[in-house]
Amino acid sequence: MSEHEDKRSFAMKFTKIVGAAAALAFATAAQAAPAVGDTVYGPEGNEVGTITTADATTVVIATGEHDAPVPANVLAEGPDGPVISVTKAQLNEIMAAQKAEAAAKRDAALVEGAMVHSADDVMLGTVASIEGDNVVVDLTEGSVALLREHFTLPANGILTARFTAEQVAETVAAAQEAATAG
């Protein structure tokens, strides 16, 4: 066998081995779908949290401080279970920063006169007053007092209460009934 043939033979064998290893790694990754209850580990092998929900695209990791939704494809299979490239402290910092940013955007939109939609995208009314964390929303059939934390500003930019229109209507009706009975 010539030197050229030896190199070609080695290259072909190497390609087959690399191809087989890649196929095995792909099969392992495909089989390593994270499951509810799995412990997720960080890059140093330390526990980050536990998976509380999982689907094909998103995994929620409970760290003890936050429930962190992460794309399912950021997890890899490690020797003890799923691995993520951040530590528990880093994931908590990321979540705290995201929550602070979301709260700041919500607070900027939560002003007197702002229109408020329900969680099921029904126009509820307008913000009548804000005192600290207490927010009164004027509805067509009365008013409802909510807390600042009951509002969100989703990607569509519409100030939204975290309740459906039906839940708000039931609350208003119960309050009106209690007021007339008392």
* pLDDT, tens digit (0-9, with 9 covering 90-100), for 92-121: 999 999 999 999 999 999 999 999 999 999
**Based on C-alpha coordinates, what's the Rg of the chain?**
26
- CB burial string 93-102: b at 16+ within 10 A, e below: eebeeeeeee
Q: What angle do CA 138, 141, 147 make, to 5 degrees?
A: 40
CATH annotation of 106-181: 3.90.50.10
Taking the alpha carbons of 139, 142, 146, 148 in that order, is the dihedral positive or negative? positive
Q: With a threshold of 0.75, does the pTM exceed it?
A: no
What average pLDDT does this structure show over 33-61?
A: 95
pLDDT of residue 32: 57
pLDDT of residue 176: 82
Beta carbons within 10 angstroms of residue 154's beta carbon:
14
